[in-house]
């Protein structure tokens, strides 16, 4: 039975389907002739732009999760607080809440067995306390796992961006060296009277 590819193996793809960039150990083994240099450099630029696009997309997703996680945590803390008041002797809560950016109001709340949660897109649903707590815990766990995944993908993408940039520089420098060698060989082969 064949073993799974590990990071660093040719053809490795991370768990989210992002392929690993090949590292060119020896340029001469990768580039057979100088005629291929242009197409190889172009393919590296395409690969680099794809990695950078994925990096920007993952950065946006991670930023959204970093914003969302504290909101979920605050909501969960509020539900847990309301649940603790529901079972106490003094089940009335006086609070100040925000009506608008600069406008606040006072409210007296009697703890109940249900809570209303905003689900997004102007949708609010009523949940029993236990269901609300379970839902928020699962959403919080899922968001934290997604953030960890984003961070792993960002690290993987940055490593691959660096690899592609190094490959590009190595192939370009190899081409410059071969051109210089060709010019020197042509200059050495030219008749003595035609040399400058």
**CA–CA gap between residue 171 and residue 182 (Å, rounded):** 16
The pLDDT tens digits for 2-23 are: 446 676 667 788 889 899 998 8
Residue 13 DSSP code: B
Confidence (pLDDT) at 119:
83
- What domains can you pick out in the chain, each with its CATH number? 34-180 (1.10.287.370)
Reduce the DSSP state of residue 89 to 3 states and report it: coil
DSSP codes of every residue in 142-179? HHHHHHHHHHHHHHHHHHHHHHHHHHHHHHHHHHHHHH
Res. 137 pLDDT band, cuts 50 70 90:
very high
Residue 18 near residue 163 (C-beta atoms within 8 A): no
The pLDDT tens digits for 39-48 are: 999 999 999 9
CA atoms within 13 A on the CB side of 143: 17
Tokens at 67, concatenated: 């914003």
**pLDDT more than 90, % of the chain:** 58
pTM for this structure?
Answer: 0.78
The residue among 150, 121, 140 whose CA lies nearest residue 63 is 150
């Amino acid at each position: 039975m064949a073993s799974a590819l590990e990071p660093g193996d040719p053809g490795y793809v991370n768990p989210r389907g992002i392929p690993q960039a090949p590292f060119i150990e020896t340029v001469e083994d990768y580039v057979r002739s100088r005629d291929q240099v242009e197409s190889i450099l172009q393919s590296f630029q395409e690969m680099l732009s794809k990695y950078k696009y994925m990096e920007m997309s993952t950065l946006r997703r991670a930023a959204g999760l970093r914003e969302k996680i504290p909101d979920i945590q605050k909501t969960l803390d509020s539900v847990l607080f309301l649940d603790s008041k529901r079972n106490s002797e003094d089940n009335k809560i006086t609070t100040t809440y925000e009506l608008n950016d600069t406008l606040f109001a006072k409210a007296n709340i009697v703890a109940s067995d249900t809570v209303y949660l905003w689900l997004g897109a102007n949708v609010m649903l009523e949940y029993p306390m236990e269901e609300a707590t379970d839902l928020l815990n699962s959403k919080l766990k899922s968001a934290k796992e997604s953030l960890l995944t984003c961070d792993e993908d960002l690290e993987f993408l940055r490593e691959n961006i660096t690899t592609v940039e190094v490959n590009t520089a190595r192939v370009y420098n190899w081409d410059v060296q071969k051109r210089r060698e060709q010019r020197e060989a042509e200059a050495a082969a030219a008749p003595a009277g035609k040399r400058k």
